[in-house]
């Protein structure tokens, strides 16, 4: 992970001749909080701004076979808010969230019966689910994270999931660093997976747009599956359609508990900072997050490729 994190620093210094002549590692301060959170800090006083990253050493390769796509799904969900962000009344909301969870479970179970499913029962479950989801909308505040950051001059609020890691990024004024620390630590301590099943449909649509109806996306997916026939690198990060349709809140919570632990994570801050004060700020906000035992990562070893492999992807297209 250190190599990857140092690569992030290089993105900031290559444009400055004086800075680029210096050894990056000498300029980076590395610390480990008591709970295992790695902290990398670098002063860069060219503007009164900071770039802040939280990196989790967890991606699609760390998923269970029956929950492919959960890493990417969780990344989406962590923009939904917490017990205080994104809600008008969490005490009322959590009751409805439980009711929605029960209805989705019953609906998915009935759908899994296929042709033997009770169509009338399924229709009634879907009606009640839609009714509860509409009721839930009255209690949520969509986009509150982004709204707060935007009001405080932040840009680049984003995230990304890869095979090996998940990263959350933002750039903001240096005098708003404590706001970032409060919001991001709250996201790790008090996240709420609201609108999970609505988002599940959004992710399924994302897959249809980027893979199923996109020839380049379809070819890349087939290429990776052909290149890696044993290692999970061959599995799509977004998951297959049937994977996405069966993802659950419980799977997301378990993935978070194990992989979003501080002893599996790093905070990277570059910019107009005082390293000593910044470290104390991080201890105050992130230091009480409990660490978790980390499983051994015994990824299956890809056997040597001894012959040529070919893959062909077919896609409907219109001449231009």
φ, ψ for residue 243 (rounded to 5)?
-65, -50
Sign of CA dihedral 151, 154, 159, 164: negative
Q: Is the confidence at residue 195, as pLDDT, over 70?
A: yes
CB atoms under 10 Å from CB of 288, counted, come to: 13
Q: What is the pLDDT of residues 245-302, one digit of tens each?
A: 999 999 999 999 999 999 999 999 999 999 999 999 999 999 999 999 988 888 899 9
φ, ψ for residue 49 (rounded to 5)?
-135, 165
Alpha-carbon span 36 to 75, nearest angstrom? 22
Q: What is the pLDDT of residues 77-92, one digit of tens each?
A: 999 999 999 999 999 9
φ, ψ for residue 319 (rounded to 5)?
-65, 145
Tell me the Cα Rg of the chain.
Answer: 22
Q: Is the confidence at residue 143, as pLDDT, over 70?
A: yes
Mean pLDDT computed over 40-58: 96
Sign of CA dihedral 285, 291, 292, 297: positive
- Which pTM value belongs to this model? 0.89
Residue 316, both tokens: 């409907």
- Looking at residue 101, what is its pLDDT? 94
Q: What is the pLDDT of residues 210-223, one digit of tens each?
A: 999 999 999 999 99
Task: Answer for the pair 107, 122: CB distance below 8 angstroms, yes or no.
Answer: yes
Sign of CA dihedral 281, 284, 289, 291: positive
- Looking at residue 21, what is its pLDDT? 40
Alpha-carbon span 251 to 8, nearest angstrom? 30
Q: What is the pLDDT of residues 8-23, one digit of tens each?
A: 555 444 444 445 545 6
Per the rule left: phi > 0, alpha: psi between -120 and 50, beta: everything else, 299 is beta
Q: What is the pLDDT of residues 85-127, one digit of tens each?
A: 999 999 999 999 999 999 999 999 998 888 899 999 999 999 9
What's the chain's average pLDDT? 91
């Amino acid at each position: 992970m250190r190599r990857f994190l140092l690569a992030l620093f290089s993105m900031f210094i290559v444009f400055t001749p004086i800075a680029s002549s210096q050894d990056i590692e000498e300029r980076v301060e590395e610390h480990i909080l008591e709970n295992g959170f790695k902290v990398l800090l670098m002063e860069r006083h060219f503007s009164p701004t900071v770039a802040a990253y939280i990196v989790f050493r967890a991606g699609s390769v760390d998923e269970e076979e029956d929950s492919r796509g959960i890493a990417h799904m969780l990344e989406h969900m962590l923009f939904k808010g917490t017990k205080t962000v994104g809600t008008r009344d969490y005490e009322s909301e959590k009751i409805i969230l439980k009711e929605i969870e029960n209805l989705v479970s019953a609906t998915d179970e009935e759908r899994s019966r296929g042709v033997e499913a009770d169509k009338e029962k399924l229709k009634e479950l879907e009606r009640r689910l839609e009714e509860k989801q509409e009721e839930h909308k009255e209690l949520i505040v969509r986009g509150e994270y982004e709204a707060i950051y935007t009001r405080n001059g932040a840009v680049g609020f984003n995230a990304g999931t890869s095979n090996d890691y998940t990263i959350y990024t933002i750039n903001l004024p240096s005098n708003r660093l404590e706001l970032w620390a409060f919001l991001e630590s709250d996201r790790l301590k008090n996240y709420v997976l609201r609108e999970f099943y609505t988002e599940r449909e959004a992710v399924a649509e994302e897959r249809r747009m980027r893979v199923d109806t996109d020839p380049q996306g379809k070819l890349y997916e087939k290429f990776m599956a052909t290149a890696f026939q044993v290692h999970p690198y061959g599995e799509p990060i977004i998951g297959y359609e049937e994977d996405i349709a069966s993802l659950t809140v419980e799977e997301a919570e378990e993935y978070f508990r194990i992989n979003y632990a501080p002893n599996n994570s790093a905070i990277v801050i570059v910019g107009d900072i005082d390293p000593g004060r910044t470290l104390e700020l991080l201890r105050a906000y992130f230091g009480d997050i409990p660490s978790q035992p980390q499983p051994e990562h015994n990824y299956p070893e890809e056997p040597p490729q001894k012959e040529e492999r070919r893959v062909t992807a077919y896609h409907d297209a219109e001449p231009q």
